[in-house]
Chains A and B, each alone.
Chain A
Amino acid sequence: MSSRTNVSCLHEARRVAIFGGTHGNEMSGITLVNMWKQNSAEIERNGLLIKPFISNPKAVEKCIRYIDTDLNRAFTPENLSAPDVEGRLYEVQRAKEINRMFGPKGSSDAYDVIFDLHNTTSNMGSTLILESSTDLFNLQMVHYIKKAMAPHTCLVLLNEHPQLKYSTTRSVAKHPIGLEVGPQPQGVLRSNVFESMRTILKHALDFIEFFNSGVEFPPCTIDVFRVQERMDYPRDTNGNITAMVHPHLQDCDWEPLNRGDPMFLTFDGRTILYEGANTVYPTFINEAAYYEKQQAFTTTCREILAANAIRKAFK
């Protein structure tokens, strides 16, 4: 007997934004958004308002990650509710503007979906980043994208960690999705990375269009990597790093790291082993921007999330 009662009915997703340049030196998103601002034919979909947007234009102009502070950490409740004051940090001011344009965060006026385009120096391949394990729309969307991208692998990172979760630019929307594609050096545009990101977005927009047209998406399961812990480099008393990511760990994002596996190599040639009790799956291994954030890599654990069937709610 078919059950019609286990289908979650969700609102249409009518307003979608694509953010590039949240970090001004991550070139795939910047290039795509600038291209689509000039000619939006490729991203147009029936019934959808799609806005390509450069989040941090001053940083993009200088091809640096940020001017005063990381925009992708700036969307805290304190920052968003702070009064307009002279001499405020550029990115805090910018966060408030973005919240006005695409939010307010947490309200029913907020944009339905924001895709935030990022690159990493880590060997993460194509990664979709979720902030909630219970957002059915997002779970179904990433499931659709993964299937559509096959055999090209698209992995899912879930950051729901109470302390390590951060206030992202995309968190202004009802359904935030991060796209992280690497490896790519800062300030560099690699063709394969650019085209992967472009294709992921094509599939994502197709999904939204199908959903809005009434297509029902059956129940599904999604393999995710859930953020556990941030691991810093060994440092001396002055805060300088004393070791590098070990050659056996370098570029091995998403592969199991077991107790006793090499983790760091000191500048004078000594190996430091991973001592954790459980097998973990490291990611963001040797990301350039994270040296200052005390992060050599992030550990994750594997999990399977289940999502109900979804379809658009009838008016």
Chain B
Amino acid sequence: MKAVAMPTVSRVAVCGGTHGNELAGIYLVREMLKKRADGTEPVSVVTVMSNPRAAQLCVRYVETDLNRCFTRAALSAPVSETSPYEMVRSQELNALLGPKASMQAVDLLCDLHNTTANTGLCLITYSDRDWICLHICKHLQARTNTKMASTPVRYVHFDIPLNEAYSLDSVGKHGFAMEIGPQPHGVVRSVIFSAMQEGVQLMMDWICQFNSGTLFEGGWVDVYTMVKNIDYPRDSETHVITAAVHPDLQDRDFCLLHPGDPMFLCFSGETLRYRGKEALYPFFINEGAYYEKGVALSLARKRRVQIPSVRSETLR
């Protein structure tokens, strides 16, 4: 593949507290906000607490999930005093860091999240050919002899067009959610905090090197593309769940799930098995916030994506 020249990544946003009970990102943003910029930084970074009201209350959201409020429709809807708090806030964030899909948007938006699922570190994005995001992933995956070394790093792709992309990271020209689990909501685990701190640091290192003209060699990255969600089995009348994620599947995010493998253990004792025809990779297995969204786990297809060498184009 031919090397690709790309614009420098000169404006970066790091956001935490998009969900107010995902604490690693909240504490990391608070620490970053304490350090005053002295003007010598090679990259301009804006650090944002996305949902301060939810963070104050240590809840995911106050009225509606902020991280579903960034579709084109939501961003252009008229808002008034009676609008849900998060609908107003998403438009504020879009004005600050965007506008989405415009030339004024930040070059890269990194949105920090935690999950109760055993996902390790995932970069979650809407594109499988965003070379900046893919190279950052490759850079994080290559680190050794660091605190992060035991945390797997993966690239997860939701194939949704930009207009319908609903999360905060879609506001930047490039963007991803940096999702790290497992961590209960309302808890900060030091291993998870350290992994996130290091992930952000490695991302910034890559950006600085890229901006100063370093050529990053191409290669291959495994991309997990979301295919479908699976809900819990529910009682047909009451809609109450009738099973838990099977012990053989619990915590086995990104371990291939074959047709016939156990998926749920019913309270009655029966085992329900995966009935799909294609072996797929499960992730977000038993995420606490997804019960209300009707998702027990998501399933992805994995493929190797070739990425070109990249270098920043220097505009004279």
Which A residues are closer than 8 A to B by beta carbons?
31, 34-35, 63-64, 121, 183-192, 194, 240, 244-247, 250, 265, 267-268, 286-289, 291-292
- Cβ–Cβ < 8 Å partners of B182 in chain A: 185
B184 x A268 contact (CB < 8 A): no
Interface status of B275 (Cβ within 8 A of chain A): no
- Cβ–Cβ < 8 Å partners of A291 in chain B: 58, 186
Give the docked Cα–Cα distance between A268 and B194 (Å): 10
- Cβ–Cβ < 8 Å partners of A183 in chain B: 184
- Cβ–Cβ < 8 Å partners of B193 in chain A: 244, 267
Give the docked Cα–Cα distance between A35 and B191 (Å): 37
A31 x B31 contact (CB < 8 A): no
Give the docked Cα–Cα distance between A244 and B28 (Å): 12
Give the docked Cα–Cα distance between A250 and B288 (Å): 21
A–B pairs, 24, beta carbons within 8 Å: A34-B240, A63-B292, A64-B59, A121-B187, A185-B184, A185-B288, A186-B184, A186-B186, A186-B288, A188-B116, A188-B184, A188-B286, A188-B287, A188-B291, A191-B244, A191-B247, A244-B189, A244-B190, A244-B193, A247-B190, A250-B189, A268-B31, A288-B186, A291-B58
Give the docked Cα–Cα distance between A194 and B268 (Å): 12
A187 x B288 contact (CB < 8 A): yes
Interface status of B89 (Cβ within 8 A of chain A): no
Residue of B whose beta carbon sits closest to that of A240 = B30
A234 → B minimal CB distance (Å): 13
B190 x A187 contact (CB < 8 A): no
Residue of A whose beta carbon sits closest to that of B243 = A191
- CB-CB under 8 A for A191 and B245, given A240-B30, A247-B191, A267-B31: yes
Give the docked Cα–Cα distance between A245 and B189 (Å): 7
What bracket does the count of chain B residues touching chain A fall in?
20 to 34
Q: Chain B interface mostly helix, strand, loop or mixed?
A: loop
Cβ 8 A contact of A187, one of B241, B267, B289: B289
Interface status of B265 (Cβ within 8 A of chain A): yes
Residues 67-97 of B, flagged 1 when their CB comes within 8 A of A and 0 if not, give 0000000000000000000000000000000
Residue of A whose beta carbon sits closest to that of B266 = A191
B89 → A minimal CB distance (Å): 21
Q: Chain A interface mostly helix, strand, loop or mixed?
A: loop
A185 x B190 contact (CB < 8 A): no
B184 x A121 contact (CB < 8 A): yes
- CB-CB under 8 A for A185 and B116, given A190-B250, A192-B250, A247-B191: yes
Beta-carbon contacts under 8 Å, B182-215 to A = 182, 184-191, 193
B185 x A191 contact (CB < 8 A): no
A190 x B244 contact (CB < 8 A): yes
Q: Which of A34, A121, A191 gathers the greatest number of chain B CB atoms within 10 Å? A: A191
Cβ 8 A contact of A194, one of B190, B240, B244, B289: B244
Residue of B whose beta carbon sits closest to that of A184 = B184
A188 x B288 contact (CB < 8 A): yes
Give the docked Cα–Cα distance between A189 and B59 (Å): 18
Cβ 8 A contact of A288, one of B27, B185, B191: B185
Interface status of B246 (Cβ within 8 A of chain A): yes
B267 x A31 contact (CB < 8 A): yes
B185 x A186 contact (CB < 8 A): yes
- Cβ–Cβ < 8 Å partners of A287 in chain B: 187
Cβ 8 A contact of B184, one of A63, A191, A288: A288
- Cβ–Cβ < 8 Å partners of A187 in chain B: 116, 185, 288-289, 291
B95 → A minimal CB distance (Å): 28
Give the docked Cα–Cα distance between A38 and B286 (Å): 25
Residue of B whose beta carbon sits closest to that of A287 = B187
Cβ 8 A contact of A189, one of B189, B241, B247: B241
A286 x B187 contact (CB < 8 A): yes
- Cβ–Cβ < 8 Å partners of A289 in chain B: 186
- Cβ–Cβ < 8 Å partners of A240 in chain B: 30
B190 x A246 contact (CB < 8 A): yes
Q: Which of B185, B190, B247 gathers the greatest number of chain A CB atoms within 10 Å? A: B190
A190 x B189 contact (CB < 8 A): no
Give the docked Cα–Cα distance between A31 and B241 (Å): 9
- Cβ–Cβ < 8 Å partners of B184 in chain A: 121, 183-186, 188, 288
Q: Which 3 A-B pairs have the closest CB atoms?
A: A185-B184, A288-B186, A191-B244
- Cβ–Cβ < 8 Å partners of A268 in chain B: 31
- Cβ–Cβ < 8 Å partners of A35 in chain B: 267
- CB-CB under 8 A for A288 and B187, given A187-B289, A267-B193: yes
- CB-CB under 8 A for A265 and B187, given A190-B286, A191-B247: no
Beta-carbon contacts under 8 Å, B286-313 to A = 286-289, 291-292
B219 → A minimal CB distance (Å): 32
Give the docked Cα–Cα distance between A265 and B116 (Å): 22
